[in-house]
Amino acid sequence: MIISIIVAVDEKGGIGFENHIPWHLPGDLARFKKFTMGHHLLLGRKTYESIGSALPGRQMIILTRNPEFKAPDCITAPTLDEALTLAENAGENEVFIIGGAEIYREALTLADHIYLTLVHTSVEADTYFPQFDQTAWSVICEQDFPEDDQNPIAHTFKYLVRE
Ligand SMILES: NC(=O)c1ccc[n+]([C@@H]2O[C@H](COP(=O)([O-])OP(=O)(O)OC[C@H]3O[C@@H](n4cnc5c(N)ncnc54)[C@H](OP(=O)(O)O)[C@@H]3O)[C@@H](O)[C@H]2O)c1
């Protein structure tokens, strides 16, 4: 099973502020939907609360250490290993780690692919993607998206594969 991270970061690595994503880029959300549709998504409990509900067409596995935590149409798991095993046993071929920072930090050493959107701005952030050694990754494709009517910030999408 391929383990993929999908994330959008600003120029300082910021990914979140007060438990939300600090920009609105419909083009990037559409890409997120296209890549993740039909797959298992692993996410931290705080990111689930930020999204607020299960995303249609995808099985969400929420990581939480609270055995009482329940969310409609989602599975919970107490460790990353258990969450990955649940996805693999369900026949998943590519699982997506969708954040937040705590989950990215733990998953980064295991990940095979990163779907990375670089948002060309510097926002107020309180949550950051972990530093990682970009020389250990090959850029398979890279595409620039200028600011437009729908997407108020220019951004670059990169698809990285571990060397
Ligand atoms: N820009 C992006 O692409 C992007 C993507 C996703 C999220 N975000 C942003 O990131 C922020 C949230 O990130 P965060 O780091 O604060 O929180 P998070 O990673 O979403 O969730 C943290 C919670 O996950 C659970 N958890 C973490 N590690 C675990 C483990 N090893 N085993 C079991 N449970 C574990 C714990 O839940 P319990 O406390 O319930 O035990 C912990 O409190 C938000 O601002 C969100 O908008 C941005």
What digits encode the pLDDT tens for the residues 90-119? Answer: 999 999 999 999 999 999 999 999 999 999
- Per residue in 30-86, pLDDT (tens digit) is 999 999 999 999 999 999 999 999 999 999 999 999 999 999 999 999 999 999 999
Q: Given the structure tokens 């797959």, which residue do they identify?
A: 39
pLDDT at 127: 98
157 and 31 in contact (C-beta within 8 Å)? Answer: yes
Please state the atom number of ligand 1 nearest to the C-alpha of residue 117: 3
Q: Cβ(102) to ligand 1 under 6 A?
A: yes
pLDDT at 14: 98
7 and 99 in contact (C-beta within 8 Å)? Answer: yes
Mean pLDDT of 5-30: 97
10 pLDDT more than 90 = yes
Q: Cβ(125) to ligand 1 under 6 A?
A: no
Please state the atom number of ligand 1 nearest to the C-alpha of residue 103: 19
Mean pLDDT of 135-146: 96
Cα–Cα dist 47/40, whole Å: 15
pLDDT at 110: 97
Cα–Cα dist 141/121, whole Å: 21
134 pLDDT more than 90 = no
Domains of the chain and any CATH numbers: 2-162 (3.40.430.10)
Neighbouring-strand partners of residue 4:
96, 113
Q: What is the dihedral of CA 37, 2, 156, 41, to 10 degrees?
A: 40
Mean pLDDT of 121-148: 96
The Å distance, Cα 46 to ligand 1 centre, comes to 5
Q: Cβ(84) to ligand 1 under 6 A?
A: no
- Per residue in 27-43, pLDDT (tens digit) is 999 999 999 999 999 99
